[in-house]
Amino acid sequence: MTELYQKLEKIVSEKYISDDLIVRHAYSRNVDPVLQGIPDIIIRPKDAKEISEILKIANEENVPVIPRGGGDCEFGGSKPIGNGGIVLDMKRMNNIVNLDEDNLIITVEAGISWAKLNEFLCHFDLYTGCMGPGSGMTASIGGGISHHSVGGGGCAKYGACTNQLISLEVVLPTGEIIETGSQANKYSKFPFNRFGNGPDLAGLFCGDNGIFGIKTKVSLQVFPRPPFADYKTFMITRKTVEVSSQIFKEIRKKGIDVYDAFYIPDIIVSTGTELGMFPLWENIKRKRGVFFYTIEANSEKELKSMVNQLDQIILQHKVQELGPEISEGNYAKWHYTEQGHWQTYHNLWGLLPAFEPMTAECFITIDLYPQILKDIDNWNRENSANLQKITEIAGFPPVSGTGPILLIDGNNVELTCGFNSFNSYRDGKNYEIIHEINIRLWKSLLERVTKWGVQWYMMGEVVSRLMVDIGAYNPEFYELMKNIKKTLDPKMILSRGKFNFWNDK
């Protein structure tokens, strides 16, 4: 047992700290099959004070600290870059602090999951608007704020989850504890507004991917759930990518306040149905891309009017409307009524043993995603020889492209792009060539998409470093970000290595 371990154990007790090899390996990976970093110590604090003490010791010892929420990230975001360091697991901090029903604001500890929070809110006929990421059954609130997360439902209406942020309690990398928004005024009794009292410092920690501070408490605006809803699903029979883009654009131009709108590409529908994932579509002869929407309203009259407007937009594109029930193909009904929004996001994961994602997630305008998808097809053809090498070993080809494309706020969509492949262990053997090809092609595809000008939001190890390595950041922007990091975190303790922020001293 090291001296560092003994110091940390005094903070949390022996029950909430481990340096066991099995535990360390359990925290060494996220979702993807290729990135690994084995920490030295895993620790589970109970509050901001304990986190502050941990960070002060880490600074004294010059040991990196990696915050981990739900651990659902795809790009190496919540494990060390390389080996070593302390993984700070936030799962103990999963409590509801306060629900202010008068002002429709909830305060929670940052380690709580989006599912647990919304389950609590549903008893008050409330929800969080955007329900966080597609992995919200286990993804944490703090992680969602760190990524500008979308995908769990409500994103067309409410945008990213940071749009509903009111205030934060944050432990800075050197151990100081701050509050933002209305709570910057020490006389404020409760969180009520994000903006004011000077600059919006909460924004500094939104989308920071865990480099500027550790979020410990989060206050969010919550919303009454409208009593009426409808949901419809359509099979697009021709030019599915272009038609879906046109439908998205027309919805926005008409100003219809749609709750969710999704396009599921052809390859997901056909491959997923073939492998038994979509039994509701098995009897449909021509399996093409699917478009679905959900609409909410405060009256039947309002709901009917909005549905009529949406149907008028969609049906003019010669689509096939599927039946109203889930058994008849109505994916939208399952997505909304059965909480499918936390199961639908990455459809091809796990369809075959060790079939895992090497993807990344970005925002882009509605009009550009058809062009990006065509370019991904070009990339696939250009790299067919390397993809074939994996196919010959695994017996099934990697699948490149995108996951479901969803409408978010403004004229933007969320695009998850990359490819699903296999890890290097097959039939008891380690095929190093699979690992090498996966890493090289993953970075190659993400560089290609980056040059379309997309806005990456969940960046982790891979995308944060790629942006720097290929010179995608405006130099002045990157220098400012680096200077802020140095000011807040002189020894680069927190999430060391992301955005290539290393301790060079």
Residue 60's pLDDT is what?
Answer: 97
Q: How many residues are present in the chain?
A: 505
Pick the CATH number of 355-462 from 3.90.550, 3.40.1350, 3.30.70, 1.10.3470: 3.30.70
- Residue 284, both tokens: 């449909």
Nearest to 163 by CA among 96, 222, 241, 94: 222
Residue 200's pLDDT is what?
Answer: 96
pLDDT in tens, 298-345: 999 999 999 999 999 999 998 999 999 999 999 999 999 998 888 776
Question: Three-state SS for 241?
Answer: helix
- In angstroms, what is the C-alpha Rg of the chain? 23
Which ranges in the chain are annotated with CATH 3.30.70.3450?
228-342
* Helices within 37-169 (DSSP H only): 48-61, 114-122, 141-147, 155-158
Residue 275's pLDDT is what?
Answer: 81
- According to DSSP, the residues that pair with 105 across neighbouring strands are 100, 221
Domain 96-224 architecture: 2-Layer Sandwich (3.30)
- Residue 166, both tokens: 């009111």
Residue 38's pLDDT is what?
Answer: 97
How far from chain centre, in Å, is Cα 468?
A: 21
Which CATH class, in words, describes the domain spanning 228-342? alpha beta
Residue 313's pLDDT is what?
Answer: 97
Q: Which amino acid is at 33?
A: P
> From its phi and psi, is residue 318 left (phi > 0), alpha (psi between -120 and 50) or beta?
left
Residue 348's pLDDT is what?
Answer: 63
Strands 214-221 and 165-171: antiparallel
Torsion angles phi and psi, residue 240, rounded to 5:
-65, -40
For the residues 425-430, what does the mean pLDDT come to? 88
- How much is the mean pLDDT over the chain? 94
How far from chain centre, in Å, is Cα 87?
A: 20
pLDDT band at 136 (very low <50, low <70, confident <90, very high): confident
DSSP assignment, residue 328?
G
From 27-36, 232-241, 294-303, the region with the lowest mean pLDDT: 27-36
Residue 505's pLDDT is what?
Answer: 60
